[in-house]
Amino acid sequence: MKCFSSFEIGNFVLEPNRYVVCFNMLFSEAALYVHGILASLSKIFSDRKIPILSVKTSISKSEKAIRLTLFADFTEHKNLLGEVENYIRSLKHVRDIKVIEPLFNGLTVDTSYDYLTFTGERAIVLRKPLYEGLIKGVREKFGELGKTFLYHVGFVLGQKAYESHNELISKVCGSTKEALLFAKEIFRQVGFGVIVTLKPDFSDKTAIVKVHSSFECELFKGSKTTESHFIRGIIAGFMSSLFKTKVNASEIKCIAKGDPYCLFIVE
């Protein structure tokens, strides 16, 4: 069975008793197609034996620029902080730099931005304790009605996702095949799970969808029944928009009751 990996999106470093500094750098848009920029940047730190703990980049369409966030451990090199900042400023294509020192002992956070975007639109992140409270809370408070509510909310989200994906794919002249590939990747990147099978049949408006690591169903492991309502709704809403007719999704296998994956039948 495949072992699924994770990607940490948090833009902070928690290292007790270490003096970690965040450098938030704004590069000109032209830097995207210039080789050697990262090499020049990393050399500034390696020449001074300063460990780099994390590097993340983001293309900012609104600013027509590239943001690069770098966390480095200056515990043994606090006296070099100003020197490093000046060297970074001297690099070609660097438009601006913010040096962010620890918020308090052991925690350094990139405080240079105010909200998150995904595919250019504002996005939010819910950690497991929060989405677990949301999904289980709705079900515990409203019972069977809560399950129905989650399904219908998911259905609307699925329809909106289809519209959004199509709009993005149309910019690169993508076909239905490309749109489905993109949908699978977005589903994974936002943390819903991993779609390993997505087989639509346009002739009879049915589909088979196999999902590994469903974030919803893993909350109910040990159950004797299938437990997907929100994800099931998303699949139904998306496929309804794809088929241009309303369809429903039922779950016949579920990780909550011990199956290796969740299997949905759309019809």
Q: Identify residue 168 by its one-letter amino acid code.
A: L
Cβ atoms within 10 Å of 110's Cβ, excluding its own: 20
**Structure confidence at residue 157 (pLDDT):** 98
pLDDT > 90? residue 169: no
Sign of the torsion formed by the C-alpha atoms of 222, 223, 226 and 230: negative
Domain ranges of the chain: 12-114, 128-266
The Cα–Cα gap between 27 and 97 comes to 9
Whether 64 and 56 have beta carbons less than 8 Å apart is answered as no
User: Which residue reads 């639109």 in tokens?
Assistant: 121
How is domain 12-114 classified at the CATH fold level? Alpha-Beta Plaits (3.30.70)
Six-digit token string for 221 = 């492991």
Number of H helices, E strands in the chain: 6, 12
- Report, as an integer, the average pLDDT of 8-30: 94
Whether 266 and 204 have beta carbons less than 8 Å apart is answered as no
Six-digit token string for 41 = 């940047």
| Residue 171 vs residue 166, higher pLDDT | 166
User: What is the CATH number that goes with domain 128-266?
Assistant: 3.30.1380.20
CA angle (211, 189, 222) in 5-degree steps: 40
Residues 24-69: tens digit of each pLDDT: 999 998 898 899 999 999 999 999 999 999 999 998 777 788 999 9
The Cα–Cα gap between 171 and 174 comes to 8
Same fold, 12-114 and 128-266: no
**Structure confidence at residue 61 (pLDDT):** 74
Whether 100 and 112 have beta carbons less than 8 Å apart is answered as yes
Rounded to the nearest integer, the mean pLDDT of the chain is: 94
This prediction's pTM: 0.89
Residues 124-148: tens digit of each pLDDT: 999 999 999 999 999 999 999 999 9
